[in-house]
Amino acid sequence: MNETVTPADPQPVVMAQNPIGKVVAVTSGKGGVGKTFVSANLAAALARRGLRVLVLDADLGLANLDVVLNLYPKLTLHDVFTGKATLEEAILPAPGGFSVLLAGSGMVEYSRLTPEVRSEFLRVVHSLVPRYDVVLLDTGAGISDVVLFAVSLASEVLMVATPEPTSLTDAYATIKVLAGQQQRDQVRLIVNQTSRAGSGLAITRQLQQVLDRFVVGALGRPFTLAHLGDIPADPEVRQAVMRRQLLVKSLPDSPAATAIAQIAHALKEKLAAKSG
Amino acid sequence: MSSPSAAQPVDLQALNLEDARALLEHDAQNGDREAGESATHYLQRVIDGLCDLSLKDPLTGLGNRRHFHAVLGRSIEAVARTGDSVLLLLLDIDHFKRINDTHGHHAGDQVLRAIAACLARCVRPMDTVARYGGEEFALILPHCRPGFGLVVAERVREAIAALTISVAPLQTLRATVSVGGAYAPEWVRSTAELWIERADQQLYRAKAEGRNRVCLDQPRELAVSAEEKGLLFSQLDLDELPPPGVPAPTAHRVNA
């Protein structure tokens, strides 16, 4: 008997997972590529476009959003997890017109993903979602279980990478895990600290070529790495970071701030297209 | 608008329970009201019996497709919360049509019953066994570590292949199954449809590779090979390097 075996019909697009709409994860393969800088400034740029934005410090254990924003709160996510504070008490206004929920230093004990951490984290994210237009998860770098879990909740994943080979290799490795383990079929790339125009697009294309050969998305569909934008290397960034200021606020016309505003615009359109 | 009072007693005579009772009797459960049994107790028993029936496959006594979907839906939720390893196995009897055509539908039914009973013996009490379709069965195995999945599935396949199924006096048959399996994806709240589809693809593969075998959806290779690394920068390095004589921008070393 010769049974014809046809692979599953590629037409019906089943969502690989049930991520929560409006939740955007900002992640990276390698640390120190400007992930938290991007999260904070992107949040401010989105807020400037009229969106209600909250940044959740999802880098449990190694959080530094507080350092970037120069905020030292009394109550943090740690207190929400342990029941010492309500969500309302721990949410703070950040300088850029958005809200933040900071992890706090007590989160070291949450750097392992136990069922309790998953459960608390889910509860917090689910109660934040109805109150904001966008919830940005500033995750840790790499492929630890906490990072993968946080990313799994997001409907959009923004991968931040710099053009350095180590950063790109780690970004590629992380994307591969997201495609394979989470059965995603799209990640958006932000190339930070580019030294010439168009190099981010060239990098995206190059990564896509390798992804096409070695990585398949959910159920054999092709995996897409979408280029969301570049942030040019800009001496002003260093200055703003050292002064702990938001670049889009202190120097909105600098090349990097302009680039982030464009990325915010693009992201807002993608989110609107998804929900509408 | 008037709503019926909750306290109003139900008149058993006014209810038409004949069909329900017949259904329960058919399934060898006593549908008759026992002497001295209260009306509430009797009704509760009839309702429980009907609920039970609605989840059962009448031929094999296993869970039916509805039961299977309910358990699978709950498993998906549990995995999202706990990160447990849950294995779904889909089993299809090989050349079942041939058994039916050659030996008759009664023989086919006997084969289905024998395999169902064998499956029920093979699994742990916490596992779920269901008849998923005509000649298709499904197993849901919670707490099944990835390293053990293939061993468990092979054991089930071998147990069925070793059966001698009596279909008529002095007539026995042997049957084999093809098995496809997939673990619930960890770290994500997946959908039951996607999970089934992944297991089903493996079942197709097992059929295509010659039947009477197990194919599991293996976790994909996630390591990055030297070949991939080489390809990542084949054109990029030159592209992104600043022209000679131009110092690299200081912002490159910003850590934020």
pLDDT in tens, A204-220: 999 999 999 888 766 66
Question: Which chain B residue is nearest to residue A178, measuring alpha carbons?
Answer: B222
- Domain region containing A155: 20-275
Indicate if B69 and B46 belong to the same structural domain: no
In chain A, beta strands by DSSP E: 20-28, 53-57, 91-93, 99-101, 134-141, 154-161, 186-194, 224-232
B207 contacts in chain A (CB < 8 Å):
3, 5
With beta carbons less than 8 A apart as the criterion, state whether A46 and A95 touch: no
Let me know: does B42 contact B156? Beta carbons within 8 Å.
no
Instruction: Output the domain CATH number for residue A64.
Output: 3.40.50.300
Whether A9 is covered by a domain: the verdict is no
Q: Which one is predicted more confidently, B79 or A51?
A: A51
Candidate from A10-14, A26-30, A216-220, B44-48 with smallest mean pLDDT? A10-14
**Lowest-confidence segment of A36-45, B29-38, B113-122 by average pLDDT:** B29-38
Mean pLDDT of B187-199: 77
Q: For position B142, what pLDDT does the model report?
A: 95
B204 and B104 assigned to the same domain: yes
A28 within a domain of the structure (yes/no): yes
Q: Is B77 a catalytic residue?
A: no
Q: What distance in Å separates residue B24's CA from the closest CA in chain A?
A: 40
Give the percent of chain B with pLDDT over 90: 50
Instruction: List the structure tokens of B176.
Output: 């084999």
Count of Cβ atoms closer than 10 Å to residue A208 Cβ = 18
User: Mean of the per-residue pLDDT values for chain A?
Assistant: 85
Tell me: pLDDT of A264 over 80.
yes
A/B interface, count of CB pairs below 8 Å: 152
A10 lies in a domain?
no
Residue A86: inside a domain: yes
Residues of B in contact with A165 (CB under 8 A): 232-233, 236-237
Q: How far apart are CA B142 and CA B71, in angstroms?
A: 11
Query: Does pLDDT of B83 surpass 80?
Result: no
Residues B24 and B87 reside in one and the same domain: no
Query: Is residue A201 domain-resident?
Result: yes
State whether B36 and B117 are in the same domain: no
Round the CA-based radius of gyration of chain A to a whole number and report it: 19
Cβ count within 10 A of residue B200: 18
Residues B94 and B185 in one domain: yes
B85 and B208 in one domain? yes
Q: If you average pLDDT over residues A153-163, what whole number do you get?
A: 94
Per the structure, the count of domains in chain B is 2
Q: Do B94 and B207 belong together in one domain?
A: yes
Note the pLDDT of residue B28. Answer: 58
Chain A residues touching residue B200 (CB < 8 angstroms)? 8
Q: Is B240 a domain residue?
A: no
Chain mean pLDDT for chain B: 84
Higher pLDDT, A62 or A136: A136
Q: Where are the alpha helices (DSSP H) in A5-132?
A: 35-48, 65-69, 77-81, 87-90, 115-128
pLDDT band for B244, please (50, 70, 90 cuts).
very low
Of the two residues A171 and B11, the one the predictor is more confident about is A171
CA distance A92 to B191: 35
Q: B219-228: per-residue pLDDT in tens?
A: 666 778 888 8
Q: Are residues B117 and B183 in the same domain?
A: yes
B149 and B216 in contact (C-beta within 8 Å)?
A: yes
Asked if pLDDT for residue A4 goes beyond 60, the answer is: no
- The reported pLDDT for the residue numbered A17 is 40
From A105, A232, A248, select the one nearest B242 (Cα to Cα). A232
Cα end-to-end span (Å), chain A: 49
Beta bridge partner(s), residue A27: A159
DSSP for B143-169 reads S--GGGHHHHHHHHHHHHHT--EEEET
Asked whether residue B253 is assigned to any structural domain, the reply reads: no
Is B248 a residue whose pLDDT tops 90?
no
CB A183 within 8 A of CB B188: yes
Helix axes A255-275, A35-48, angle to 10 degrees: 70
Q: Is B27 helix (H, G, I), strand (E, B) or coil?
A: coil
Residue B6 pLDDT: 57
Decide: helix, strand or coil at residue B177: strand
Give the residue from chain B lying closest to A213, CA to CA: B228
Domain boundary residue, one of B8, B33, B54 = B54
Per annotation, catalytic residue among B135, B186, B209, B228: B135
pLDDT for res B185: 72
- Answer yes or no: do B48 and B130 share one domain: no
Of the candidate ranges A28-42, A68-82, A188-202, the one whose mean pLDDT is the lowest = A68-82
Helix ranges, B92-191 (H): 96-103, 105-122, 149-161
A188-197, A267-276, B163-172: which has the minimum mean pLDDT? Answer: A267-276
**Domain holding B181: CATH number?**
3.30.70.270
The predicted pLDDT at position B219 comes to 64
Instruction: Tell which wins on pLDDT, A35 or B2.
Output: A35
Angle, CA of A144, B197 and A27, to the nearest 5°: 25
Token pair of B8 as six digits: 């109003």
- So what's the pLDDT on residue A218? 63
Distance from the A52 Cα atom to the nearest Cα atom in chain B, whole angstroms = 24
Tokens standing for residue A108 = 């070291």
* Chain B residues in contact with A213 (beta carbon < 8 A): 228, 231
Q: Is residue A13 part of a domain?
A: no
What is the layout of strands, in order, in the sheet containing A186-194? A91-93, A99-101, A53-57, A134-141, A20-28, A154-161, A186-194, A224-232
Does B137 map to a domain?
yes
Tally of domains within chain A = 1
Q: Tally Cβ neighbours within 10 Å of residue A43.
A: 32
Determine, yes or no, domain membership for B243: no
Whether residues B191 and A15 touch (CB distance < 8 A) is answered with: yes
Residues B171 and B84 in one domain: yes
Is residue B19 pLDDT above 90, yes or no? Answer: no
Q: Give CA–CA dist A244/A237, Å, rounded.
A: 10
CA A272, CA A270: separation in Å to the nearest integer?
Answer: 5
Does the residue B225 lie in any domain? no
Tell me which residue range forms the domain holding B49. 16-54
Q: Could you tell me if B189 and B158 lie in one domain?
A: yes
- Evaluate whether residue A15 is within a structural domain: no
Q: Do A182 and B207 touch (CB under 8 A)?
A: no
Percent of chain A at pLDDT > 70 equals 87
CA B221 remoteness from chain centre: 25
pLDDT category of residue B42 using cuts at 50, 70 and 90: confident
Which residue type sits at A27?
T
- The reported pLDDT for the residue numbered B40 is 85
Cβ separation B236–A148 shorter than 8 A: no
Whether pLDDT at B91 is above 90: yes
Least confident among B75-84, B103-112, B132-141, B167-176: B75-84
Q: Does residue A2 sit within a domain?
A: no
Tell which residue, A100, A85, A188, has the closest CA to residue A137.
Answer: A100
Higher pLDDT, A188 or B251: A188
Chain center to CA of A165: 21
Q: Which of residues 93-152 of B touch A (CB under 8 A)?
A: 95
B201 and B176 housed in the same domain:
yes
- For residue B192, pLDDT over 80 is answered with yes
